[in-house]
Amino acid sequence: MTAFQEIWDPWLIGLYMWLAGIAGMSSAAYAIMRWSNKREGLRELALASPAATILALIFITVDLSRPWNVSSAIIFSMLSGSFGILRSWMAAGMVLLILQLLISLALALPYLAPKASKPKWLLGQPKWLLGAAAIVGVLVPMYTGFELSSAPGVPFWGTALMPVLWVISASICVVALLKMSVRAVEVSAFLTRAGLVGLNVVQLIAVLALVGVPLQSGSLAAKISAAALAYGELSAPFWTLVVGLGTLAPLALGFYMIKKENKYIGAAAAVLALIGALALRILVLQAGAFEALPPAS
């Protein structure tokens, strides 16, 4: 049948994807800022990344039917030689998230150790670590998008736009975190122009394409999913939380702050952007409809 399915929990998986995106892009942004010799906001990014990664792992584990068997199943499959990260998106994702956790913890160590007892080797972060943080950081939100686009039987998700949109949305989340933490006017102004304005324009186009294209040329199930978001049962939260408050409002506030930065307006735009990013994932998951099975011969 072609109908909305309740075999997945949009809230748990949506929170997992939202947190994973924040975790990954926080590490990537940290590496970029270190390379650019920008210091303000580094501590917040370094601490946000492992915290978000741990929470993402918790949510994806809880979503499984028997979460306490996950760790034992992974260990057993590795010991038996049957574990392969290329055999399933879930296996690849768990490995990627664990790698992200290790990298993010390494980035956070200098900020967690007491100042008086910090050894010199802890203060210096090698280029290879920053490079790994940037690469793995971008791969994490991209993976969560691929995880959706490769899901069998849900044509609305099966688009190459999904991982791109997830990376854009996660980048906006990191911009939002930085907008609430940085104080330097020059840095805040750059975040306004590049993040609140630039990235939100791109996200708006991508979100409208995600819904509009299936309505015009998608399969029946894809049209049902897109219609639910555009003018159906999910349209109110979609247009209000995702498009209105989550994208257009931060975009408008960003345009307003191009002339003069305001930390309170910036914080409001950041909170709205974070809420919109979470709502986007939950609603896209909720809108997923299975393709109809062919009639039995």
DSSP state letters, 180-239: TT---HHHHHHHIIIIIIIIHHHHHHHHHHHHHHHHHH--HHHHHHHHHHHTSTTHHHII
Is residue 4 over pLDDT 50? no
More confident residue, 105 or 85: 105
> Side-chain half-sphere of 116: how many Cα atoms within 13 Å?
0
Banded model confidence at residue 219, pLDDT cuts 50, 70, 90: confident
Q: What is the mean pLDDT of residues 216-237?
A: 93
More confident residue, 229 or 7: 229
Banded model confidence at residue 120, pLDDT cuts 50, 70, 90: low
Which has the minimum average pLDDT: 166-175, 205-214, 215-224, 271-280? Answer: 215-224
d(CA 266, CA 159): 33
User: Hey, what are 88's tokens?
Assistant: 């399933």
More confident residue, 291 or 296: 291
Query: For 247, phi and psi rounded to 5 degrees?
Result: -125, -55
Whether 170 and 277 have beta carbons less than 8 Å apart is answered as yes
Query: What CATH number belongs to 10-287?
Result: 1.20.1630.10
Tally the residues of the chain.
297
pLDDT recorded at residue 2: 36
Banded model confidence at residue 88, pLDDT cuts 50, 70, 90: low
pLDDT in tens, 151-178: 878 999 999 999 999 999 999 999 999 9
pLDDT recorded at residue 77: 52
pLDDT recorded at residue 150: 86
pLDDT recorded at residue 289: 87
Is residue 123 over pLDDT 90? no
pLDDT recorded at residue 95: 84
Is residue 114 over pLDDT 80? no
Banded model confidence at residue 81, pLDDT cuts 50, 70, 90: low
> Side-chain half-sphere of 129: how many Cα atoms within 13 Å?
17
Q: What is the pTM of this model?
A: 0.88
Q: What is the mean pLDDT of residues 100-113?
A: 91
Neighbours of 228 (CB within 10 A): 21
Banded model confidence at residue 52, pLDDT cuts 50, 70, 90: very high
Banded model confidence at residue 7, pLDDT cuts 50, 70, 90: low
Is residue 98 over pLDDT 80? yes
d(CA 79, CA 73): 10
Q: What is the mean pLDDT of residues 110-132?
A: 73
Instruction: Share the mean pLDDT of the chain.
Output: 86
Q: What is the mean pLDDT of residues 86-93?
A: 64
Q: What is the mean pLDDT of residues 43-71?
A: 80
